[in-house]
A and B are shown apart, each in its own frame.
Chain A
Amino acid sequence: MRYETVIGLEVHVELATDSKIFCSCSAHSYGAEPNDHVCPACCGMPGMLPVVNRRVVDFGMKAGMMLNCHINRVTTFDKKSYYYPDLPAAYQTTQWFAPVAVNGTVEIDTPAGKKAIRIKQIHMEEDAGKLVHDLREDTTHVDFNRTSVPLIEIVSQPDLSSAAEVEAYLERLKTLLRYARVAECEMAHGTMRCDVNLSIRPEGSTEYGVRTEMKNMNSIEAIKRAIEYETARHIDAVENGTEVLVQETRRWDDVKGKSYAMRTKETAGDYRYFPDPNVMPVVIDDEWYDSIADSLPELPEVKFERYTSEMGLGEYDAEQLTRSIALCECFESAVEVCGSAKDAANWVISEIMSILNTKGMTYDMLTVNGETLGRLIVLVRDGKVGRANARRILADMFDDATIDPEAYAEKMGFIVSNDTGLIESVVKAVVAADPASVAAYKGGREKALMALFGKCMKELRGNCDPQVLRVVLLAEIEKA
């Protein structure tokens, strides 16, 4: 018999707000010293009251709209109770009864064409802390930096049917959420994590088989391996009776390439959800709703279409630029200033992207302002700054986003000289000092001209129109 795999995902995404969901501690816990970003509130000490960070609701709504969800205009927070040392108040504040967004869809590409994956809901919640096990001392330390960092959980319907579809879905989620600038979605940083619910059924059947859940998956490759393993295990159990499938939570061991049932103790329990009386229902009025709706970005495929058909870029360039909303925004505002899509695309793709790569930064981390880049491009095009010097200015703009290209070029002595007197005197001196190269050029060696040209350019510190220099140099050699 042929089987179909039925997969639903619960994806946790850390929202990229500056502060935590209910207190003003920094939410940027990645890489910080343990317990650097904590206060009595996120440590669950008595007496602190949660105050909802409005940015978190902004981001939750934005994520919902990107995934074509209905936004609940009255959204509430609820308490979920369980004991674990990384959960300081012994409850997590989440959304159980009225999540911010429901009933959405995400479209993915499959070999059989487009497929719509239904989204059941998106809810906002706080993250838990981290346990650090010290095997040497046989103790466990608790780090509360991540406690109360805002998350959204995106719950899909069981509409996915293969590892490839899961990968396409996760990639699409990343793109959409990154475009909306609500999340980093970097599995390696733990800013995107995934629970996989999986069952199998005979192809064509409409009933669901026994479902197992694998929690906290944090790499796409591991997810793909786990799905393949679980699918095979389920089929083996059904076909050959190797084991009896039970609805359970399993842990994926990516090193061994196997899944294991978790102790029932780790999974059992009633979370005893109830509305958090300390958090008033959040009412999203039209003004708030519209301000978020108006801030949604153009989708990457729409940009691609516009870049290629309206702006005349090649497909390769358009594809490179649409890899990140930050690149697109930089490119688009550079075009507005310099008027040339071709020039702006060149600068973003060959200069900016390579600097980001060298620095080990993601494209979304770009801080260079497109308007400033546009002005730099104009300086080069007008022959006011040489290309090599413009590159240096750009590199400095990465460290200081406030750099004004004209003033900075002036300050650094990068403005191309129109003083032909200066050029002539430099050329005269260089030619007089190197009779050997002059003779070689006259003897037919083209390279000798380049050497003389280079020396002059160096003397002029690059601030000279190469065309002008060439004419003056040839005239001088002629005279010599």
Chain B
Amino acid sequence: MKIITAKTDCACEKRIALDDMILTSDMPTAAGSRMLDGYMSLFDAEVVTRLKEAGHCVSMKADVGEFAVDLMGETSYNGAPVASGVLVNAACETVKNGDAVAAISLDVNGAIRRGAAQSGLVCIKPTYGTVSRYGTIPAACSGECVSVTAGDVKTVADILSVIAGHDDKDGTSLPAEKCEAAGKVTAPVKRIGVIRALCEGVDADVQAKLDEFCAKAQAAGIEIVTFDGAALTAARAAWNVLMSAEVCNNVSRYDGVKYGYRAERFTNIDELYTNSRTEAFGDVLKSVILYGSETLSTENYMKVYDKSLRVRRIICEIFADLFEDADAVLMPAVGKMAYTEEDVKADKYMAFSENVYTAPASITGLPAVVAGGVQLVGPALSDAALLDAVARIG
């Protein structure tokens, strides 16, 4: 397990850890990639600026998998973060160990949500556009969100209120009034729909967490209903296409010319590009690049990429229908409570199948809260309502 940088040994109540997708001008940001080893940003991310202005101590960077597309962080060039054979998420570990009161992550492919579910932490991936992505390393821009993870709901809500809000520097940032609406509980969650299709096939530990959550919810006076929701499983394949294409495009800028890793041996510009990228990128990222590049080719664009955009719209419509009958929906965040080193050795692309649980919220930009090892997804701007629900459920 590696925490990349702990700048100060400050022990105040306001220590915040950032995952290494969030740029800081006073600590290096590597995005888990040899390509950006030692990269110093010229500017701070907007969330960092807001946290500092609010008096928080932003002094710790937690490692991520290469460009945060993997399962838990196992594709980092620093090696997989492991605790007794079980994969852990570095940002979650900083919170669990008490090194930080909260962790800020860029949720690209759900690694932070899986980590929080596994660690029993509370995590929110807010509504897309309510927290500025200015100063986050771009990977899958159409769905990635800055998320907050902490040990309890109140801390998550407090930190979220600091970083959320309109930002002119982010063209996808929602207007101020919408960001404010996301921070208020206008319609408390009274009925939760369980997505049966996503609960099938999870292991017994996860099933137990789901049952426990439902029982507690009912005890708190929240009605539980069941939806089939089979179509939501299609979000995974579509998200893999969109994410890979965007990652492929976004990491194209790392070519060894201007900054970052540069191969020692080359005889011309093409070799400079090829050798630098061959040497600096890891295998899983290379697969993502190739897959993404392929889906965007003239031959495949309509068949694959455009179709995935249409699936995204359909998934949004399905959620909208579900939210006619429930205030939020419940689904697992993980298929098993502990992913092991062995798991990813056997299948290094596990992130792209296990993200069946995280892709629905990623592809739609809907808010998702992980608590008690399960995941609650609500309508756009229901962020505060979701946090309020998990607080009531306890």
Which chain A residue shows the least CB distance to B167? A49
A40 lies within 8 A of B253 (CB): no
Is there a chain B Cβ closer than 8 Å to A88's Cβ?
A: yes
Q: A85-B257, A91-B249 are in contact. Are A46 and B137 (CB under 8 A)?
A: yes
Contacts of A90 in B (CB 8 A): 249, 252-253, 255
B233 in contact (CB, < 8 A): no
Q: Tell me which of B170, B252, B296 has the highest count of chain A C-beta atoms within 10 A of its own C-beta.
A: B252
B247-259: contact bitstring with A at CB < 8 Å (1 yes, 0 no)? 0011011010111
A45-B257 Cα distance, complex, nearest whole Å: 12
Q: Enumerate chain B residues within 8 angstroms of A81, measured Cβ to Cβ.
A: 249, 252, 296
CB distance from A270 to the nearest CB of B (A): 5
A168 CB-CB contact with B under 8 Å: no
Q: Is the CB of A274 within 8 A of B171?
A: no
A279 contacts B171, C-beta separation under 8 Å: yes
In angstroms, Cα B139 to Cα A278, docked, is 11
Task: Give the number of chain A interface residues (Cβ < 8 Å).
Answer: 29
A129 CB → nearest B CB, Å: 11
Tell whether A440 is near chain B: CB-to-CB under 8 Å.
no
Q: Is B78 an interface residue (CB 8 A)?
A: no
Q: Is A43 an interface residue (CB 8 A)?
A: yes
Contacting pair B249 A88 (CB below 8 A): no
Cβ-based interface call for A47 (8 A): yes
Verify A85–B172 contact, CB threshold 8 A. no
A residues 239-279 near B (Cβ < 8 Å) are 270, 272-275, 277-279
* A contact residues around B259 at 8 Å (CB): 45
Mark B221-254 against chain A: 1 for CB-CB distance below 8 A, else 0. Answer: 0000000000000000000000001100110110
Min CB gap B96→A, angstroms: 28
Q: How many whole Å from B139's CB to the nearest CB in chain A? A: 10
Contact B258 A277 (CB under 8 A): no
Contact B43 A47 (CB under 8 A): yes
B172 contacts A272, C-beta separation under 8 Å: no
Interchain CA distance A319-B99 in the complex, whole Å: 78
Q: A270-B297, A274-B296 are in contact. Are A83 and B252 (CB under 8 A)?
A: yes
Please give, as numbers and ranges, the residues of chain A lying within 8 Å of B45 by CB-CB distance. Answer: 47
What is the CB-to-nearest-CB distance from B190 to chain A, in angstroms, rounded to a whole number?
A: 33
CB neighbours (8 Å) of B137 from chain A are 46-47
B301 interfacial contact with A, CB 8 Å = yes
B261 contacts which chain A residues (CB < 8 A)? none
Chain B residue at smallest Cβ distance from A80: B249
User: For the complex, is B298 an interface residue (Cβ under 8 Å from A)?
Assistant: yes
Tell whether, in the assembled complex, residue B249 and residue A51 are in contact, meaning their CB atoms are under 8 Å apart.
Answer: no
**Contact A49:B252 (CB < 8 A) given known A270-B298, A280-B172:** no
With the chains together, A331 CA to B5 CA distance in Å? 67
| Cα A43 to Cα B246 with chains together (Å) | 19
Contact A278 to B269, CB < 8 A, known contacts A40-B42, A44-B253, A90-B252: no
Q: Would you call A272 and B296 a contact (CB within 8 A)?
A: yes
| A272 touching B253 in the complex, CB below 8 Å, given contacts A47-B135, A49-B169, A49-B171 | no
Q: Chain A contacts of B297 at CB under 8 A?
A: 270, 272
Query: Per-residue CB proximity of B321-336 to A under 8 Å, as 1/0?
Result: 0000000000000000
Give A40 to B245 CA distance when docked, in angstroms. Answer: 23
Contacts of B41 in A (CB 8 A): 45-47
Contact present for A50 and B296 (CB under 8 Å): no
Indicate if B119 sits at the interface (CB-CB under 8 A). no
Q: How far is the CA of A279 from the CA of B255 in the complex (A)?
A: 24
A278 and B167 alpha carbons, distance in the complex (Å): 13
C-beta contact mask, A29-68 vs B, less than 8 Å → 1, else 0? 0000000000010011111111110000000000000000
A88 near B258 (CB under 8 angstroms)? yes
Given A83-B273, A88-B258, A277-B141, CB of A51 within 8 Å of CB of B253: no
Within the complex, the shortest CB–CB distance from A88 to chain B, in Å, comes to 7
Interface of A is mostly: loop
Q: Give the docked Cα–Cα distance between A49 and B133 (Å).
A: 8
Question: Given A52-B171, A91-B249, A274-B301, are A46 and B138 neighbors across the interface (CB < 8 Å)?
Answer: yes
What are the residues of chain B within 8 A of A275 when measuring CB–CB? 309
Q: Which of chain B's residues 120-165 have a Cβ closer than 8 Å to chain A? A: 133-138, 141-142
- Asked if B305 is at the interface (CB within 8 A of a chain A CB), the reply is yes
Is the CB of A89 closer than 8 A to any CB of chain B? Answer: yes
Tell whether A49 pairs with B134 under 8 Å between CB atoms, given A79-B249, A89-B253, A278-B171: yes
**Which residues from chain A contact B218 at a C-beta distance below 8 Å?**
none
B293 near A: Cβ within 8 Å? Answer: yes
* Residues 350-391 of B at the A interface (beta carbon under 8 Å): none
In this assembly, does B198 line the interface, its C-beta being within 8 Å of a C-beta of chain A?
A: no
Complex CA distance for A411 and B91, rounded to whole angstroms = 73
Closest to B292 in A: A272
What is the bound-complex CA distance between A470 and B245, given in angstroms? Answer: 87
Asked if B23 is at the interface of the complex by the 8 Å CB criterion, the answer is: yes
Given the known interface contacts A270-B297, A272-B297, A273-B296, the answer about A51 and B252 at a Cβ–Cβ threshold of 8 Å is no
Give B294's nearest chain A residue, CB to CB: A272
Smallest CB gap from B246: residue in A: A277
Given A46-B253, A85-B257, A90-B253, A274:B172 Cβ within 8 A:
no
Is B168 in contact with chain A by the CB < 8 A criterion?
A: yes
Q: A272's closest neighbor in chain B, by CB?
A: B296
| Of the residues B142, B257, B273, B293, contact of A272 by C-beta under 8 Å | B293
The verdict on A47 contacting B171 (CB below 8 Å), with A90-B252, A90-B255, A270-B298 known, is no
Contacts of B36 in A (CB 8 A): 46
Closest B residue, CB atoms, query A51: B171
**How close is A465's CB to chain B, nearest CB, in angstroms?**
61
Return chain B residues, CB-CB under 8 Å to A270: 296-298
Q: Is the CB of A83 within 8 A of B171?
A: no
Chain A residues contacting B257 (CB-CB under 8 Å) are 85, 142
Answer whether A88 and B253 are a contact pair too, CB < 8 Å, given A45-B42, A47-B23, A47-B45: yes
**Which 6 residue pairs across A and B have the least CB separation, nearest first?**
A277-B142, A90-B252, A272-B296, A47-B135, A277-B141, A89-B253
Q: With A46-B253, A91-B249, A280-B171 given, can you name 4 additional A-B contacts, CB distance below 8 Å?
A: A48-B135, A51-B169, A277-B172, A279-B171
What are 24 inter-chain pairs, A to B, with CB distance below 8 A?
A: A40-B43, A43-B258, A45-B259, A46-B31, A46-B253, A47-B135, A47-B136, A48-B134, A48-B135, A49-B134, A49-B170, A51-B168, A51-B170, A81-B249, A81-B296, A85-B257, A270-B298, A272-B296, A273-B296, A274-B249, A274-B296, A277-B141, A277-B246, A278-B171
